[in-house]
Amino acid sequence: MTTADPTALPAAPSALTERPARTLSGRLGVGSIVFMVIAAAAPLTVVGGGFPVGALLGDGIGAPTMFLIGGVILLFFAVGLSTMSNYVPRPGAFFTYVGYGLGRPLGLAAAWLAILTYTTVQIAVYGYVGAVISGFVGSLGGPTLPWWLYSLAVVAIVGFLGYRHIELSGKVLGVFLVCEIGVVLVLAGAVVATGGAEGLSAAPFLPSNVLSGAPALALMFALAGFIGFESTAIYRDEAKDPQKTIPRATYVALIVIAVFYTFASWALVMGIGPSHLMGELAKDPSAFIGTVTTQYLGAAGGWIVNILMITSMFACVLSFHNVITRYQHSMSNAAVLPGALGKVHATHRSPHTSSMVQTVTAAVLTVAFALFQLDPVLQVFTWFSGISTFAIVVLMGLTCLAVISYFAVKKIRAGVWKTWIAPVIGFLGLAAVAVIIAQNFPLLIGDADAKGNPVFGTLTIAFLAVMAAFPVFGVVQALVMRAKRPGAYENVIDTISTIEE
């Protein structure tokens, strides 16, 4: 374990110590943090929702390998992230590290891009969970209500939990996470014990299958399943021993997610049989895991999986709600967002005002999608999960560059592997993925020619323009601050990371 360089950070402004009402605290251990970030990744949602779509649109039976490839790329990224967390011992993750390594303008660009990332992935899942609940209630003979009513109900419950202390959310997420991982492991065990539909094989890992179809789309959906693991640094000030807890939680979360996704998706392919996979997915990808579960665990198993799919998505939006509110809270304390968002509840010690704002934001967006009559899965979920994946890959790439730059400029010797080799490999991998996503982004929103090739039409250009607007706004905001409020500008990154939870 490396030790922090006392000369690496500027002293925090003394005024910050005089504002205890804006400071958050806690005693989260590795387990609690891992629970929250893995819950944000929503394992059952990825295995039961993201994987079927990725396989259908991507490389079919080769899709499980994409989780391994994604995990390896992100492991190189995690090396630099964990090293940086010890030499820049402040929470804040992307914007803090990018700010220290690449300068304040890019730091604020990263902050705004992070807001876009977590907001879009959250609203994507709100759409999906509303559709799933609506269909499930209908299948039980309940009233047929529009998806957005259920989505708004979930928004309200998440808002209530987000308003209270973070440890309550951690307990709720832990229970849901154990249940959803448990049922998938039971299903996978049943498949392995019975030998699957066509026998157990390594077909999903053969190069001919991995490279078939559209592997780029499969990789994109696979990486979407990892969103959230990097948020371990957000909880630094609430960790029992940040120097040890944060790096350990980062590695544990990433490895557990990658192994679980790969094994579970492989088991599903074996369960239905490689030769029958695409035909079954073409019927209804959202019902795929239910079909396999019913086949191996009976009707009761299928019913349990449907229930846990809902709780998995609920855990996902709750986790991202907590992350977003903390980004807003910290940006407020740096005078980047309105000051009210930086308040901390006297009893719950939560950024309650920021939580309420995020709840209202999610509700307004849900109502807007309903008014525009967007399909909650094929449009809301697909479009906005695509945006969040693209944005998170760009953020991770910037973070790799920030790690390289920071240690080179500061001349800190923390090991060539940690500060140069791993971050460079991570950056190259992420850059390649970003290019792949950009080239295939039109396919997510249906912009394609008669042959199915991506076309950069009006809708695609509009989405990409909105994505670009967020980091551009961050750069402009930083430059305006430098010109009009030089004192605030000099302290902006340090202030964000010092006061944040």
Torsional sign, CA 330, 166, 360, 228: positive
8 A C-beta contact, residue 128 and residue 380: yes
Show the 3-state SS of 211-232: CCCCHHHHHHHHHHCCCCHHHH
Q: Which pLDDT belongs to residue 171? A: 66
Dist CA 460 CA 201 (whole Å) = 39
Fold assignment, 28-499:
Amino acid/polyamine transporter I (1.20.1740)
End-to-end, the C-alpha distance of the chain in Å comes to 23
Strand runs labelled E in 376-419: none
List all residues 6 or more positions away from 141 whose beta carbon is below 8 Å from its beta carbon: none
8 A C-beta contact, residue 499 and residue 330: yes
Count Cα neighbours of 173 within 13 Å in the Cβ-side half-sphere. 30
How many residues are recorded in the chain? 501
Give the chain's radius of gyration (CA, Å): 22
List all residues 6 or more positions away from 75 whose beta carbon is below 8 Å from its beta carbon: 254, 255, 258
Nearest to 205 by CA among 256, 254, 262: 262
Nearest to 217 by CA among 2, 371, 334, 390: 390
Nearest to 42 by CA among 150, 184, 164: 184
Dist CA 374 CA 470 (whole Å) = 23
Query: Which residues, given as ranges, of the chain have pLDDT below 70?
Result: 1-28, 39-40, 89-93, 164-174, 231, 233-239, 242-243, 345-350, 450, 452, 493-501
Structure tokens at 467: 């994505």
List all residues 6 or more positions away from 348 whose beta carbon is below 8 Å from its beta carbon: 163, 164, 165
Q: What are the φ/ψ torsions at residue 18 (nearest 5 degrees)? A: -100, 15
Structure tokens at 259: 């192994």
349 backbone φψ class: left, alpha, beta (φ>0; ψ -120 to 50): left
Structure tokens at 60: 């079919």
Coil/strand/helix, residue 448: strand
Q: Which pLDDT belongs to residue 427? A: 95
Q: Which pLDDT belongs to residue 13? A: 35
Torsional sign, CA 481, 482, 486, 487: positive
Q: Which pLDDT belongs to residue 366? A: 95
Q: Give 23's DSSP letter.
A: -
SS3 content of the chain, % helix, strand, coil (to 5): 80, 0, 20
8 A C-beta contact, residue 45 and residue 313: yes
Structure tokens at 475: 């750069």
| 136-168 pLDDT tens trace | 888 788 888 999 999 999 999 998 887 765 555
- The residue written with tokens 């074996």 in the block is 270
Q: Among the residues of 273-346, which ranges form H helices?
A: 277-283, 288-333
Structure tokens at 357: 């704002």
- For every residue of 108-121, DSSP letters joined together read HHHHHHHHHHHHHH
- By the 10 Å C-beta count (0-12 exposed, 13-18 middle, 19+ buried), 114 is classed as buried
